[in-house]
Structure 1
């Protein structure tokens, strides 16, 4: 061993030796370490492969998507929180998940873009003169209150991270049904119009389809609700008597359970008019099917996307879940999802990643200056087209009801399944 000339040489040698020892111990650990796997459960609406691949590349984590139909994903999540780490669906699922203890509060301090999230989620309105709409506006179920309930008083904990949202209605094929006028002649009542008997479908999601049916029945003058967002037992009974009679008359061609199935219904000419989500309309147009997304004079059925933490998500997986939530509001996902007609809670961050034409069409309701593609890369918007319903503000200023789990949800669920099985 060489002689050390002084204390400084000794310390330098000791330092090098310690570093070498650290490397010797750490290298095997580094190579053995597995990336965190984040399990995301939701629907085909947001669980798209391009987003999964992009997120994995940018975040350096492994992400598994489990897409299912609306009713199936909610049932599984509520009954088995160990089956997912993050849940993506709609705000009408929150009360069920929260009451079941399937999700845990989200800390707003860990959400990088919380301050950018617009007023829709936090107050229920984009602009002051907008119609709030009946039912569970997102601000009513967002904040975790001191007693553990959900309410409107802002706190540091929330039940879901707000991200995608939209207003829904019904789509109709103009090869078979004459095009109506937005907000003036287009009506929910068309879904129960005898002229379209045998060519009608509703979405098979009890917390959604019931409102499409209720809005249709009320528009036809068949029933009146005191509060369509909180139906009484008698009102539910009366509504399902109407629906049961319609089914027995062969009015419905079936009920769809996923967006791809709704597209297939239109593609095969099984239906001419049906409950629809924006991606389904976009997909139909991309395949050359002339589907109009109605702007009902009665107002839209609105929904807000929710991203929730499983009650069983902890440690490094929980850290990865926050990274993924923040990624969703970082710009790219919002620009991507706009191309299927969805809005993001902090749109200004996504605007630079959209062309001026895309922004003007999807958010401002202006005519497209060029052909625009959907998320599948196919042209879904032709030059000169204007978005059905107009701008972001106009569409969200005309809400009839929000997707809602009513106090009488359990009773309405039984009636829904009776209708399915009849």
Structure 2
């Protein structure tokens, strides 16, 4: 039986009350100043802030920005934030800039429950690990102060929200492909889609979508797609600029709502996408498939970091906030937008069996399923693109990465935008 929005919210409230665990104590001094959280709109959502404030008894100030601006501010002004939320590809930049401090594993209450993806790079034995900065490679603080995969008692970030990304396409225009067989990143550069293609305007992300597409089309071959050389970047952008001058691209989007608007208006029929945009469009009756490319996904892992300037009562609040993310409610909230959490079993208790089966196990939805806003995001019988949690992360081609040639790639990306 389908669940109404009112009934869903009532059930969720009851579940939340039953599973609620009292937060760790926050000193009166710590509660006086807002906890300043810098990050992106992926996780800095008002529902999350309000819930965390209520359960932790502190005031929280969210500052959402585009990922490039977030990284720039965090790496140059650590005094301007207490907690940083973004993706693991930013860690090397922040660590080298002394913008973040080591996190004490003993103060992360559910550290032992965090799954193995960020700790070892694998959810199961033999799982393929994609190119680039897989999060386990930069998680642990080594004795010499560098970051590496050897486990220690200090970490550079707390693993939390993560996902795999690809592209979405309107099946009213483009016939549905077969996941992992015919769906291909090369579709983004297929001439039959000329004038109807969109890319994500995030240099450290969009470049990998473009590189995967160009390589899939046989236009270029990279030695290591996770760390392109300057020459390989030049080769890639020569191709992209030629496509641009032919009118192949019809826009680069900078936010999830903008990507939704591109597809909804018909401006594009295929584009780089994030999971919530696909759910939103499907909820609007626009049939968008989220591809499971045969070449593999672009993977990313969220990070919670401590500013190198955070200390005293603010540090206590920061640890409390990071621990709160792992208690279950937030992970379930993010699951309804298509994201995973590093302590999935904690979030399972805040999800219906049908939700868990759809989002994590890749099974058909037994009922209509709500998004984070309570509106229907998944219709009965739908199956998640790419299958289960394990299957999707077992097919990562490359992780979001700040390459050795990152600064040079920014110059070429700007040329793509303005040229």
State the TM-score, normalized to the length of structure 2.
Answer: 0.92
How far off its partner does 1:201 sit? Answer: 1.2
How far off its partner does 1:133 sit? Answer: 0.8
Counterparts of residues 307-322 of structure 1 (less than 5 Å): 307-322=304-319
Q: CA RMSD in A?
A: 1.4
1:408 is matched with 405
Cα deviation, 1:195-234, whole Å, max 9, x if unaligned, reads 1111111111111110000000000000011111111121
Unaligned stretches of 5+ in structure 1?
A: 1-29
How far off its partner does 1:253 sit? Answer: 1.1
Q: Would you say how many aligned residue pairs link Structure 1 and Structure 2?
A: 393
1:157 is matched with 154
How far off its partner does 1:292 sit? Answer: 0.9
How far off its partner does 1:100 sit? Answer: 1.5
Q: Aligned partners of 2:409 and 2:107: how far apart in 1? A: 38
Structure 2 residue 271 is the aligned partner of structure 1 residue 286: no
Identify which of 201, 205, 225 aligns with 2:202. 205
1:162 is paired with a residue whose SS is: strand
2:75 is matched with 78
Unaligned stretches of 5+ in structure 2?
A: 1-26
Structure 2 residue 415 is the aligned partner of structure 1 residue 418: yes
How far off its partner does 1:98 sit? Answer: 1.2
Q: Aligned partners of 2:332 and 2:209: how far apart in 1? A: 29
Q: Aligned partners of 1:33 and 1:314: how far apart in 2? A: 11
1:353 is paired with a residue whose SS is: coil
Structure 2 residue 116 is the aligned partner of structure 1 residue 119: yes
Cα pair distance change 1:147/1:194, threshold 3 Å: same
How far off its partner does 1:405 sit? Answer: 0.9
Task: Determine if contact 2:30/2:317 at 8 Å carries over to the other structure.
Answer: no
Cα pair distance change 1:147/1:175, threshold 3 Å: same
How far off its partner does 1:288 sit? Answer: 2.1
Task: Determine if contact 2:29/2:313 at 8 Å carries over to the other structure.
Answer: no
Counterparts of residues 164-175 of structure 1 (less than 5 Å): 164-175=161-172
Task: Determine if contact 1:167/1:395 at 8 Å carries over to the other structure.
Answer: yes
How far off its partner does 1:129 sit? Answer: 2.1
Structure 2 residue 273 is the aligned partner of structure 1 residue 272: no
Task: Determine if contact 1:36/1:320 at 8 Å carries over to the other structure.
Answer: no
Runs of 4+ in 1 over 4 A off after TM superposition: 30-34
Q: Aligned partners of 1:284 and 1:78: how far apart in 2? A: 35
Cα pair distance change 1:36/1:269, threshold 3 Å: same
Identify which of 329, 333, 336 aligns with 1:336. 333
2:7 is matched with none
2:349 is paired with a residue whose SS is: helix
Identify which of 249, 253, 256 aligns with 1:256. 253
2:159 is paired with a residue whose SS is: strand
State the TM-score, normalized to the length of structure 1.
Answer: 0.91
Task: Determine if contact 1:212/1:275 at 8 Å carries over to the other structure.
Answer: yes
1:36 is matched with 33
2:237 is matched with 240
Greater Rg, structure 1 or structure 2? 1
